[in-house]
């Protein structure tokens, strides 16, 4: 498994492995520890983001950079 696509959704992030059998499901969380555990299990060299990452305030975040901030915190917590 390798996370290679992310999107902002309901104040959290949905992380996808587009090569999996069910990429449309992905993993959703607004918890940095859970997100860190998911990316620790595998993140691709290149990760693409939905436009929702740029307009996160329209997807439940307080600010437009909130989704990216959460993703960066998860990567840091995972040691990536």
Q: What is the pLDDT of residue 26?
A: 84
The domain tally of the chain equals 1
For the stretch 66-69, contacts whose Cβ atoms lie closer than 8 Å and that sit 24 or more positions apart, written own/partner, are 66/8, 67/6, 67/8, 67/13
Can you tell me whether residue 11 is helix, strand or coil? coil
Question: Furthest-apart CA pair in the chain: how many Å?
Answer: 33
Q: What is the pLDDT along the chain (80 residues), one digit of tens a residue?
A: 789 999 999 999 999 988 865 656 788 999 999 999 999 988 999 999 999 999 999 999 999 999 999 999 999 999 98
Residue 52: which domain range?
A: 3-78
């Amino acid at each position: 498994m390798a996370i290679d696509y992310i999107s902002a959704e309901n104040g959290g992030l949905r992380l996808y492995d587009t090569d999996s059998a069910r990429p449309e499901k992905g993993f959703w969380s607004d918890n940095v520890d859970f997100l860190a555990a998911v990316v620790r299990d595998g993140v691709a060299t290149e990760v693409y983001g939905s436009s929702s990452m740029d307009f996160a305030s329209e997807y439940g975040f307080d600010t437009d950079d909130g989704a990216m901030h959460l993703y960066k915190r998860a990567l840091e917590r995972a040691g990536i």
